[in-house]
Amino acid sequence: MRSFAGGSSTDKILITNYAAMNALLQYTIAFRAVINAYDTVTFRRLANKRTSGTPGQGLFMIYYIHSPGDLIEFEEWNWGTTAGQWSIPGTATGSEFTFVLTYDGGSTSNDPVFYINDVSQTVTRVTGPAGTRQSETADLYLGASNGTTPHDGTEGEFALWNRILTRNEITALHLKFEAALLANGLVCYLPLIGRYSPELNLAPNALTGTVTGTTTSVHPPMIRRHPVIPPSPLRPYLHLARTYP
């Protein structure tokens, strides 16, 4: 796991945009995280793929805030007129959780589905999206975005698919199966075990993650096809489905 310092730090992982992540119509986002504290003044970003606060200039933002209660919020920025915004109750501070979100951009009436620790959450629609889907080429940030409102806690096992995962696949993620075992439609996967800089991206034809700040935190043991290592001719010969950090 990578640990982000929060406060006024610039701790972040930058994944420069590449074509497979652009303007997804249906998608699933997943990661494991710990939130240390909910800020009463500003939101703290977990994941952000947008270039500005203008609708149509990105894809999504996931963050948390105390406003008035502890909330985790998702904004969908690929709508050309108005970005959509939804929230769920926040998780307990200091406790690791599995986060999975699925979204279908086929209609402005669709709401995202949130799962915390494999349990579907009650979703509040704050602002309904409007307009049509746009093209976008925004970079993806984990933690701070351009140096602002960084995550205060840890994050690991970040993954993005260009499809909606099945219910059984979502359960598998909670049971610590690595995202690479769900290879169909996987467009971004950073284990974030903290051993490498840049961070490895194990999705096909993907770009690595540029590290700014952050420290290494304890990573949960995962069910993996092989250890998380840079590309190697030995990889095809490593044992299948063993547990590695």
Looking at residue 108, its pLDDT comes to 98
Looking at residue 22, its pLDDT comes to 93
| pLDDT band with cut points at 50, 70 and 90 for residue 237 | very low
Looking at residue 40, its pLDDT comes to 86
Looking at residue 229, its pLDDT comes to 73
| pLDDT band with cut points at 50, 70 and 90 for residue 231 | low
Judge whether residue 48 has pLDDT over 50: yes
Looking at residue 147, its pLDDT comes to 66
Which residue from 120, 157, 147 is spatially nearest to 33, judged by alpha carbons?
157
pTM exceeding 0.85: yes
Judge whether residue 170 has pLDDT over 60: yes
| Domains within the chain, CATH numbers bracketed | 2-218 (2.60.120.200)
Looking at residue 16, its pLDDT comes to 96
Average pLDDT over residues 3-29: 94
Query: CA 151, CA 54: separation in Å to the nearest integer?
Result: 22
Query: CA 1, CA 89: separation in Å to the nearest integer?
Result: 23
Q: What is the pLDDT of residues 109-161, one digit of tens each?
A: 999 999 999 999 999 999 999 999 999 999 999 998 866 788 999 999 999 99
Judge whether residue 240 has pLDDT over 50: no
* CB neighbour list of residue 168: distance below 8 Å, 6 or more residues apart: none
Looking at residue 97, its pLDDT comes to 98
- Number of helical (H) and strand (E) elements in the chain, helices listed first: 1, 18
Name the DSSP class of 194.
S
Q: What is the pLDDT of residues 203-225, one digit of tens each?
A: 998 999 999 999 999 999 999 98
Looking at residue 236, its pLDDT comes to 47
Provide Rg for the chain, Cα atoms.
17
Q: What is the pLDDT of residues 65-108, one digit of tens each?
A: 998 899 999 999 999 999 999 999 999 999 999 999 999 999 99
Please report the DSSP string for 49-81 in residue order. Answer: EESSSSTTSEEEEEEEEESSSEEEEEEE--BSS
